[in-house]
Structure 1
Amino acid sequence: MRIVFMGTPDFAVPSLQALIENGMQVVGVVTQPDRPVGRKRILTPTPVKIEAEKHGIPVLQPERLRRPESVEELKELQPDLIVTAAYGQILPKSVLELPKHGCINIHASLLPKYRGGAPIHHAVMNGDAVTGVTIMYMAEGLDTGDMISRVELPIEDTDTTGTLFDKLSIAGARLLTETLPDLIAGRIQAVPQNDDEAVYSPNISREQELIDWTKPALTIWNQVRGLNPRPGAYTLWNGDVLKIWGCRKPETTGEAGVPGTVVGLSEAGVEVATGSGTLTIIELQPAGKKAMDAAQFIRGGQIAAGTVLG
């Protein structure tokens, strides 16, 4: 079977590796164009491109996949199956109809929950106890295709979006390896999604990054870990952005003072009143500086009890 793989970030790399290691015939890889990265704006290839080139696999990087010339390039690869994982562009009907075995997608959620571009962020921010990976046939809608297989993973208190990103990428690669033999043999019985149960997870907005201290401590704790390592939750301190990278899981509820007020400073961290309970910040990053533990921030005399954040 001639397989074309489509993916872009680190999340997709284990799935590409799984195809290669299992002897699949990957005849081409489609990924996003190289982009400028960092302060020096160095043109940088995607992680999937780097992996493909290690194995001598041809790479296509169309700016817009739906353009006729891009579809024609893809058609020349004569794919029997297209496998996608966090590619970053919606596949047009002209591409979906190319392979005789269809197009399948490795999606980092338990569909139909969290369709869209930021399923891991939303699962953590919403305080979910379980997440997972779904492999589905691709359709013209956003993550609406029939489900082929899935695997569940618990979300631990120690997890952030970053740690789950890594866990789910490996789980997705393993699930792909287990699913492909049945797909190739024609033994798949895909299950339609229940659209009435659909939940969407659009990309994170700047407004979602700002901490609202009037919310419960548990809600803010989930927000902080859900936005770690990218893009990061923040509050305002002395008129500047103060990134909050880590907090202790809150144990208290109820009234704790004016929300956003620093009510305690100790080696444990910076304790802040919220709408319900207090939240102890353990890692933060003032504007223009590197991330540091809160105890170091306190020892520097940069914050005092009674300070109001936000």
Structure 2
Amino acid sequence: MEEVELEEPSSSGHEDSNDHNDILEWAKANNLGSLQIICEYYQLRCPVRGSTLNFHPLEHLHPLEFHRPGETVLHIAGSTVDLRSCNTSLELAEAHSALLAEEEATALSVWTIACVCGNLRLENVLMMFAGALLEKQIVVVCSNLGILSAVVLSAIPLIRPYQWQSLLMPVLPNDMLDFLDAPVPYIVGIKHKTAEVQSKLSNVILIDANKNQVKSHSVPHLPQQKELFSSLSPYHEKLVGESYLARKRPVYECTDVQVEAAKGFLAVLRSYLDSLCSNLRSHTITNVQSNDDKTFCH
């Protein structure tokens, strides 16, 4: 199993390392900071489980530190995923996929939830939550790229243990705006709501983080929404209170109060989603008997 761990894919294509080095040197020579950051990022390797990665591409920027969890066992939705108990390559691949999805949600959980709650009213957060569960088209607008990215990425931890299966793009490039016409679910971020963008938003859930507003035509209320709102309110209020000081820091840096409040917020949502699915078995067909042309279901 340890050999498999070493073979996990990295975040870069090392077969192109020479090209990246050439581009990086050119970026340094021409003082192209953004390109230098991208090149440095593509040269990173995915850290092994339990290790820490430091990223400091430019001296005048704050260094970033990422700690990868060391867990190889996942407890989710009443079941256990354990890499050590896998007997076939298919089981191993499925276990890796489940663990990586949980890693992603965990890495995003605290700072994105702190940011989305600090910038949107609770009813607007729940609108986004419902839209993601219903696989709607969701567009987030914000002039601050950090907040924009955090709000879009918050959809991943918000709906855990479920996973968003369609396109999710924190910042949609201007030359890809035609994608907003696609008849598929998506969650995308846009920096400015231009006239061209506005003409494409007739059937989407529009979240304006600049104005703390949400516009939508057809999103039903969540089951037990009042009870859910009441349970989430104390955590949301703490995150709103901390958000004023947080504006002086990068969006990914959180206080201890934000960390605990964000974890509490997500714990309530996880319990809520578990409760919605707890009685699914009573609504499923568990026994089918056929007698000639007649079928009996129990």
Flag the structure with more relative contact order, 1 or 2, with Cα contacts below 8 A and sequence separation at least 6: 2
TM-score over 0.5 (shorter chain): no
Structure 2 length normalisation: TM-score? 0.26
Q: Going by fraction, where is helix more abundant, 1 or 2? A: 2
| TM-score, scaled to structure 1 | 0.26
